[in-house]
Amino acid sequence: MKPLPHTVRTLSSGGSVLVLNTGATITPEAQAMLAALHSRSTGGVQAHLETLAAKGPSRFMETYYVGYGHKSIGDLGSATVFVEGISMLAAKALQHWPLYNGQESSTRYIDFSRQPLINPAGTKEAQHIQEVWRSFYQRSQEPTRAWVRERFVRNPDEDEKLYEKAVAARAFDILRAFLPAGTATNIAWHGTLRQFADALLPLRHHPLVEVREIAEATLDALTEAFPSSFSRKFYEATEAYYEKVMRGAHHYLAPAQWPEYPTIAHDGTDSNVLREHEALLRERPPKSDLPYIIGLAGSVRIEGLLDFGSWRDLQRHRALTQAPPLLTPHFGFHPWYLEELPQDARDEARDLIKKQEERLHALNLEPPTAQYYLPMGYRVPISLRGDLRALVYLIELRSTRFVHPTLRAFVLQTAALLQERFAWCGLTLHLDAQPDRFDVARGKQDIFVAAQGGQQRLSEAEERTNAKDSSA
């Protein structure tokens, strides 16, 4: 098969942006044109296919989607973009969009010890801080796995391979807390042409230089791949507005005081509407979502502290409105990670955290840049708002024993708040009743690819590729 001409842009960090060329005969722009024409006639799509074959989609998209600003046309074609070698912080920035669809490399299943480190300060002292965190992550892997095996002995009826995979996953759960947020990761981003255009506009003014570069590179690559659907024409007033929005202090939520445990900071629900839908709230069976009409009752704002690593999962709930937190040492290291380490590593980690904070303080970096040198175990202030449908979905999905323990604890505490607040109107939550425990079923929660001689873990295949690339 002849290689397809994907559109690629290289980032200064060594990462890249790749707009996927699927080799389709009918391209995303052509698909958008066909659907738009179809909405303006009753004659059927066959006639529009003939128009497409005769004239092509370029002039149509350039005129109606970009020129006249019919944005809905851009919803009729989609693209997939792979952004690689970017920091955890940049990944979260790209994903902080209510219509984002995609995946990110998982710190719960992949060994990140060989990943590049993004060092925007550019100094040896700053790089040293990142390397010290990563060194602890690397050398603590096997002692932590041994500690997990000692605490959770394999039962005779449990498959040994699955057990070992579950042990490794548990160790990754614990040690990800020591990965600096500047560690490189990869994301896959799928969206409509319109969604990419709308999302990239504010990202080009993000406080982080890395994010601004990624946004520019992605827009440039999309413009080359779909020249009739993306414009490099900018409007001064719009650019100035998003500069203010993205650089303003309210973009990052960093208060001096914050509740340690989840609390209902504001209840904006309408009791009359909830009473009207009491039967829907009370009678909902397991594995069923509340209807969207519940949103008419209003929303609830939840605030509390959660480690940055687990906030990354919480952020994936796009139906919630969330404030992206600033990663600082102000709220301390989440105690769960320290408690889960073997005793020797626990003592070393406490001493390490103190020394690393002193080193970082000496660099005197601006708070947004300092995030690259802090690990994901630090707690950050969480502020999220959602209607009961969105909150119930979050709670039931993230309260199972397979969810990371720190996130599960936060979600179960939130569940208790909502059950108490809305018991009067019959709110029912279907929660995983089993307590937190080591479960070999974690070994099954992975993605496999077909390989010669049987199955191969996707992450293992990636590790081989990374090793090959490093030696090339």
pLDDT tens digits, residue range 374-398?
999 999 999 999 999 999 999 999 9
- Residue ranges, comma separated, of all CATH 3.30.1360.170 domains in the chain are 7-103+183-206+208-250, 252-332+377-425
As a whole number of angstroms, the distance between CA 138 and CA 175 comes to: 9
Name the residue with higher pLDDT: 34 or 255: 34
Angle, CA of 435, 441 and 444, to the nearest 5°: 150
Centre a 10 Å sphere on the Cβ of residue 64 and count the other Cβ atoms it contains: 18
The amino acid at residue 345 is A
What pLDDT is attached to residue 189? 96
Domain 252-332+377-425 classification at class level: alpha beta
Q: Read off the pLDDT of each residue in 413-427 and give the average, rounded to a whole number.
A: 96
What pLDDT is attached to residue 29? 81
Q: Do residues 134 and 356 make contact, with C-beta atoms less than 8 angstroms apart? A: no
Residue 254 — very low, low, confident or very high, per pLDDT cuts 50/70/90?
Answer: low
What pLDDT is attached to residue 253? 58
The token duo for 197 is 């255009």
Centre a 10 Å sphere on the Cβ of residue 48 and count the other Cβ atoms it contains: 18
Domain 7-103+183-206+208-250 falls under CATH 3.30.1360.170 = yes
The amino acid at residue 398 is R
Crossing angle of the two packed helices 209-225 and 193-203, in degrees rounded to 10: 150
Q: Do residues 355 and 287 make contact, with C-beta atoms less than 8 angstroms apart? A: no
Of 248-257, 299-308, 360-369, the range with the lowest mean pLDDT is 248-257
Share of the chain above pLDDT 70, in %: 88
Q: Do residues 224 and 104 make contact, with C-beta atoms less than 8 angstroms apart? A: no
One-letter-per-residue 3-state SS of 174-230:
HHHHHCECCEEEEEEEEEEHHHHHHHHHHHCCCCCHHHHHHHHHHHHHHHHHCCCCC
The amino acid at residue 391 is L
Residue 245 — very low, low, confident or very high, per pLDDT cuts 50/70/90?
Answer: confident
- Dihedral sign computed on CA atoms, order 86, 411, 248, 363: negative
What pLDDT is attached to residue 135? 96
Name the residue with higher pLDDT: 40 or 22: 22
List b or e across 264-274, with b for residues whose CB sees 16 or more CB atoms inside 10 angstroms: eeeeebeeeeb
Q: Read off the pLDDT of each residue in 411-417 and give the average, rounded to a whole number.
A: 96
Average pLDDT, rounded, for the chain = 87
Q: Read off the pLDDT of each residue in 10-14 and give the average, rounded to a whole number.
A: 93
The token duo for 308 is 């940055």
Assess whether pLDDT exceeds 60 at residue 51. Answer: yes
The tens digit of pLDDT for each residue in 429-463 reads 999 877 766 677 766 655 444 444 444 544 444 44
DSSP 135-164: HHHHHTHHHHHHHHHHHSPPPTTS-HHHHH
What pLDDT is attached to residue 453? 45
Q: Do residues 57 and 33 make contact, with C-beta atoms less than 8 angstroms apart? A: yes
What pLDDT is attached to residue 9? 95
List b or e across 196-218, with b for residues whose CB sees 16 or more CB atoms inside 10 angstroms: bbebbbbbbbbbbebbbbbbbbb
Assess whether pLDDT exceeds 60 at residue 322. Answer: yes
Query: What is the Cβ-side half-sphere exposure of residue 342, based on CA atoms within 13 angstroms?
Result: 16
463 alpha-carbon distance from chain centroid? 21
Share of the chain above pLDDT 90, in %: 66
Q: Read off the pLDDT of each residue in 82-110 and give the average, rounded to a whole number.
A: 91
Assess whether pLDDT exceeds 60 at residue 122. Answer: yes
As a whole number of angstroms, the distance between CA 369 and CA 371 comes to: 5
Centre a 10 Å sphere on the Cβ of residue 447 and count the other Cβ atoms it contains: 11
Assess whether pLDDT exceeds 90 at residue 66. Answer: no
Centre a 10 Å sphere on the Cβ of residue 38 and count the other Cβ atoms it contains: 15
What pLDDT is attached to residue 235? 87
In the chain the first and final C-alpha atoms are separated, in Å, by 24
What pLDDT is attached to residue 43? 73
Contacts of residue 206, defined as CB under 8 A and 6 or more positions apart, other chains included, come to 93, 212, 215, 246
